[in-house]
Structure 1
Amino acid sequence: MNNGNSVPQFFVEEIYHHFAEMFQEAFIVLDADYKTQAEFFCASSAILKQREYVKPSFCKAVMEREALYPTGLANEYIQFAIPHTDAFHVEKPFVFVTRLKNHIPFMHMGTTDIPVQAKVIFMLGIKNPEKQVGLLSDIMKCFNDGDFVRTILSIQDTHAMADYLKKQFGG
């Protein structure tokens, strides 16, 4: 029962677990042919900046953070990365999804010497840092699901990818 002194549980879950709106067709690139992290970060940051989702400082900030705190991950299904930076550099929340034609090396999260050959990158733009842990957790759960990985590797259309990701992340 809600006596007015607390927020109903369903509303709390909606606030913290509904990330579907962060996935937009305009921020999905399929079979991208980037050769380096820097090329990826610059190209994706330019798209985000043009649409006023990030500040001009975003590209440099995300590259610097990646160098200090690597975001590569690997499991039995895929190697991927989840780069992000401080909320200060973000104007509006987003997840920029890139599936690569060829892999880009990232260092494994928590290390400085174990490379990960990322095939998919989910670059996060978080405005509300409290939401970051939940979103990271949800992304990692999805990447640990073989069906999810097979689906995102097989979808050939950005509209279909956006629809699929919105459904997976609460839409």
Structure 2
Amino acid sequence: MNYDNLFQRDLIILNAEYQDQNDLFRSNFKNLQDKGLVNSSYCTALMERESLYPTGLANEKIQFAIPHTDVTHVNQPFVHVVRLKKPIRFAHMGMSDQPVDAEIVFMLGIKDPKGQVGLLSEIMSCFNDQSFIDHVRTINDSQRMEAYLKNKFGRQSK
């Protein structure tokens, strides 16, 4: 499936700083709502879902998070990419007693529940690829990051 249309330059934040996970969610919610991508329940739903079903992931190469919520809180699909200056603590997906200090967060706004599984799988696969990790860690321009992500996540349809 082709996911390149989910990435937009104005939804890519590089070297961001937040106090914690809730600060990250609240700070970015207003921007998402102002763009009409999410409805007023999105932020609360995202925080509630994260507390019940954590989305932190880690491998030997990187620690990251892919927070998302039910489709009813999303108006238009998107992936909001946030690369952090200082990692933010998330609980590990499937092992909530294990902390994950995420350095990159892909906040997902999914409208098609069937598409969510494929996108999650593709993101997790990319974070096992050292070349992908090197790129998302080092690209310092949101326009270049957008082009890289569109290329990377659009390749399935080519």
**TM-score for the superposition, normalised by structure 1:** 0.89
Larger radius of gyration: 1
Of 30, 34, 46, the match for 2:14: 30
Structure 1 residue 106 corresponds to structure 2 residue 90: yes
Other-structure match for 1:5: none
1:35-54 equivalent positions in 2, closer than 5 A: 35-54=19-38
Partner of 1:143: 127
Which residue of the other structure, out of 58, 72, 76, is the alignment partner of 2:56?
72
Work out the CA distance in 2 between the residues paired with 1:147 and 1:69: 29
Other-structure match for 1:13? none
Q: Deviations over 1:132-160 (max 9, x none)?
A: 01000100110000010011000000000
User: Taking structure 2 as the reference length, what is the TM-score of the superposition?
Assistant: 0.97
Which has the larger share of strand? 2
Return the alpha-carbon distance in structure 1 between the equivalents of residues 100 and 118 of structure 2: 23
Paired with 1:23 and 1:99, the residues of 2 have a C-alpha distance of: 14
Given candidates 75, 96, 116, the residue that maps to 1:132 is 116
Residue equivalent to 1:3? none
Aligned-pair identity (%): 52
Asked whether 1:85 is paired with 2:49, we answer no
Gaps of 5+ in 1: 1-16
User: How far apart are 1:125 and its partner, in Å?
Assistant: 0.3
Structure 2 distance, partners of 1:74, 1:112, is: 12
Specify the code of the residue in structure 2 equivalent to 1:53: L
* RMSD (Å) for aligned C-alpha atoms: 0.7
Q: Which runs of 4+ in 1 moved over 4 A?
A: none
User: In the TM superposition, what whole-angstrom CA distance separates every residue of 1:99-144 from its partner, at most 9, and x where no partner exists?
Assistant: 0000000000012210000000001000000100100010011000
* Count of aligned pairs: 155
Question: What CA distance in whole angstroms lies between the structure 1 residues aligned with 2:122 and 2:115?
Answer: 11
